[in-house]
Amino acid sequence: MSARESRAALQLVTAEAVAYATDLANRVAGSPEVRRLALLDGVPELIGYYSEGSAALAADFYEEERELAEVRSRFTAEAVIEDRTVKIRRSIAWAASPWFDDSGDSVDARLAEVVQLETARPYRDTITTNRSNDPDAVGWRRVTAGGCPFCRMLADRGAVYKSDTARFASHTNCHCVAQPVFTTNDTGVEASVLQYRASRRSRSPEQRAELRQYLEEFYS
C-alpha cells in the first residue's frame, strides 16, 4: 500500500465513522438535553471503535514502509490511541449546542468535524510515536490531499520532520497523513524553520501574520 493509498483508506474509515455519527444525531428524538445525552453516550464509543481501525491501519502501513526501505533491524509498530475521552465529550457538547440556541449552525456539520478529526488522530499518532521509538527512523513526511495551501506548504519539497517534538498539524476535515522515513531511504530535505514553526500548536501574532503572508504569496 502506497502512502496515498493508505491516506485514501484512512479517509474511508473516517467517512464511515462520520456517517454513523450523523445518522445517530438524526435518529434520536426528544428534548435538546435528551438528544445531547444520546450523543455523549454513543459517539465516544463510536470514535473509539473507528480509532482502533485507524491506528491499526497506520501500524500496518508503518511496517510495510519499513520493509520497503529494507531496514534490517527488527521493530514492531504498535497502535497508539490516546485517552481523549474528556476532550471528545467537550467537543460533542459543542457540536450539539445549536440545538439549544438560534445560531443557525448545523449539528451534523459540527459533529462531522469532531468525529473526522478524532478518528484520524490515532493514525497520525501511531506513525509519529513509532517513529520516535524506532532507532532506524529519521523522521516523517506529510502526504497531502492536495488542496489546502497550509498543508501544501507543510509538505513542500517532501520535507522530512526529524525533530522528536515536531507536531503533526491538522485542521477540520484534514485528510493528510504522515509517512515514516528511515535511515536507509532518507532522501528528503529536513523541514525548514518556517515549516516547523507552522506545525506548532501556538504561535505569536507576529508569527501568524508572517505565515499568512507567506501562504498568500506562494500558495494561494
Q: What is the pLDDT along the chain (220 residues), one digit of tens a residue?
A: 788 899 999 999 999 999 999 999 999 999 999 999 999 999 999 999 999 999 999 999 999 999 999 999 999 999 999 999 999 999 999 999 999 987 778 999 999 999 999 999 999 999 999 999 999 999 999 998 777 899 999 999 889 999 988 899 988 888 899 999 998 887 789 999 989 988 888 888 888 888 888 888 888 7
**SS3 label, residue 191:** coil
The amino acid at 188: G
Ramachandran angles phi, psi of 154, nearest 5°: -65, -25
Distance CA 32, CA 102 (A): 13
Spans of all domains in the chain: 3-218
